[in-house]
Structure 1
Amino acid sequence: MTMQLIDNDPDGIRICRVEGESLLTVVVPRDKLAEAKRLPYVPERGVYYLLDEDHGVLGRVYAGQTTQGLARLEAHKAKKEFWNKAVMFLDTDINIDRDVLDVLEAKVIDYVRRNGSYETDNTFLPGPHVNPYKEQRVEDLHSSILFRMKVLGYDLDREETVPVVGNTLFHTTRNGVQASGRYDTATGRFTVIAGSQVDLDRNIIKNQSAVAVRRHLFGERAGKEQLPDDIVLSSPSAAAVFVLGGSQNGWTEWVSDQGKTLDEVYRNKEHMNE
């Protein structure tokens, strides 16, 4: 596997190739999209992931397909605020025809819905017809995609269970819930503090590990319950989902005593330099 760093920036745009495969991988930070669209000779057909990613820890993932190449990300930049990085797997229409593309998209969506401890915005699972003569092609592409994601440091299978430490306290008061927690910049994990309220009336859309923790702590109870002990979640979004239910963006949901969101404190350079 070879990797090209645009402008020699390891945190910038990366182009990855595997010897013997035509599939091209392009890693695009959200703030580098305009620059990425100027890259020459980039195919336009394939699948992609939008990632809420921090230190390799995935807080939220969205998967989809494109026939527009990098230009497809423009709409997501305007409509989806959660992602800070996109990973695209692109090839020509000769190597990925319409049938293969549709089935491959369904496969990558199903995978992120069933695996990992991250949230996903994929609420609909496509059900395209599978051409039996093209099944192996789809399997090979998906295996290559999963391999490349791991090499890049984005493990779609990883379940986060390691404890977290931190200093700055963050809060959420949405829907009358009073909850607090701390973020660990070294691991990307978030601890919800004992005494925080958990809204058990709102079901969790995804993140089965958070569902299991709720069930272990509270059984079948309803209403707002206090957390008896500190609990560690894999990301700020997973922590927000744990206490609030539904689907949440923890980077904007958790707010410090100074009124700064977690994103403003730790990820938004403009705010960090103020």
Structure 2
Amino acid sequence: MTITPKTIQIFLPSGEPHGIRIAEITTRIVQVIEVPRSLLNSFLGMEQSSQVGVYFLIGEDTEDGDRLVYVGQTGDLRARLTAHNQKKDFWERALVLISKTNSLTQTHALFLEWHSLQQIRIAGRFADENGNSGSRPHTPAPLEADCLEVFETSNILITSLGYPLFEAVIKARQTEDNDDDCFYLSDKNQTIKAKGVYTSEGFVVLADSLAVLETAKSISDSYKQSRQRLVASGIIKPNGEGQLHFDKDYLFGSPSGAAAAVLGRSANGWTEWKDAKGRTLNQMKRVNVGIEE
């Protein structure tokens, strides 16, 4: 799929940047409305709340480090969100997907709910609160095409608002050892080897990377606690050979956090991570930026 430039408009009905936000691509019919739970009553007074819609209830991080989401659809947003406000405790914000032309039908909404949940589970960034996702709803081919176009737009808007529900932490895994996008890390005894990619969001350690089993006494408390959460959540697991194994790609906020998780000690990730030619992440992504070879 070709990626093209886009202009997104975000409207603040109250003028407050942390209040209700309405995002849209002005040439398309889809809107996504971000509603803080504390302002739900304000949204319920807006005309958009009377439409058929798909909604995403977003919760805070769990002890395992996952963010929570619940996906639903309804022909009566006011009644459904009011019920969720009374009965569901975990969520802090709602993202509501509607049509500016009020043209979404219940059939659209059912397919979008199902498809969104599948994509959330594939991406693996958020833990969903839905339980069984049910079977794929029957949707005529022309209507399904409309739904997928709506989903594409909603993905752009929801991600732009800061909720990458459908985006994998790394879109295209790089697996060749000589690939310039990949960086590697080993301990001094060469008993473990980890592989990662530096992205616009942080540093991703790729699945099947290995980490040391024990932490050093000198590791900082924050890195130690972060590593303990990864083990407790099953993201990294003992492999029975005296090492820890990354079961999936995992995004760290910084290269140093990623290096500490792998090495079990405090580390400068900018100098520890190196490409296949031995050049450090610092050389490749900071020192040499803007310098032509």
Tell me the TM-score range normalised by the shorter chain.
Answer: 0.5 to 0.7
Normalized against structure 2, the TM-score is what? 0.54
Q: Which secondary structure does the structure 1 equivalent of 2:134 belong to? A: coil
Q: Distance in 2 between matches of 1:234 and 1:83?
A: 24
**Alignment of 1:47 onto 2:54:** yes
Normalized against structure 1, the TM-score is what? 0.58
**Alignment of 1:133 onto 2:156:** no
Q: Distance in 1 between matches of 2:230 and 2:93?
A: 32
Give the alignment partner of residue 239 of structure 2, picking from 206, 210, 219: 219
Give the alignment partner of residue 112 of structure 1, picking from 116, 120, 125: 120
Q: Distance in 2 between matches of 1:92 and 1:197?
A: 42
**How do 1:17-56 residues align onto structure 2 when only pairs under 5 Å count?**
17-53=24-60
Q: Which secondary structure does the structure 2 equivalent of 1:9 belong to? A: coil
**Corresponding residue for 2:10?**
3
Q: Which secondary structure does the structure 1 equivalent of 2:14 belong to? A: helix
Q: Distance in 2 between matches of 1:155 and 1:41?
A: 23
The residue type paired with residue 154 of structure 1 is: Y
Q: Which secondary structure does the structure 2 equivalent of 1:51 belong to? A: strand
1:116 Cα deviation from its structure 2 partner: 3.0
Deviations 1:116-168 (A, max 9, x none): 322111211132112122121011011011010121121122538759xxxxx
**Corresponding residue for 2:158?**
149
Q: Distance in 2 between matches of 1:220 and 1:134?
A: 50
The residue type paired with residue 54 of structure 2 is: V
The residue type paired with residue 236 of structure 2 is: V
1:191 Cα deviation from its structure 2 partner: 3.6
Q: Distance in 2 between matches of 1:120 and 1:11?
A: 24
Q: Distance in 1 between matches of 2:113 and 2:150?
A: 11
Deviations 1:6-46 (A, max 9, x none): 32111111122322322222110011111221123544212
1:5 Cα deviation from its structure 2 partner: 0.9
Give the alignment partner of residue 78 of structure 1, picking from 65, 79, 86: 86
Question: RMSD of the TM alignment (CA)?
Answer: 3.7
Asked whether the equivalents of residues 48 and 98 of structure 2 are also in contact (C-alpha less than 8 Å), the reply is no
Q: Distance in 2 between matches of 1:76 and 1:45?
A: 16
Higher Rg of the two aligned structures: 2
Which blocks of at least 5 consecutive residues in structure 1 are unaligned?
164-180, 184-189, 200-209, 222-226, 236-274
Q: Which secondary structure does the structure 1 equivalent of 2:81 belong to? A: helix
- C-alpha distance 27-148 of structure 1, shift in aligned 2 (>3 A): same
Which blocks of at least 5 consecutive residues in structure 2 are unaligned?
1-7, 170-200, 205-220, 245-249, 254-293
- C-alpha distance 233-23 of structure 1, shift in aligned 2 (>3 A): closer
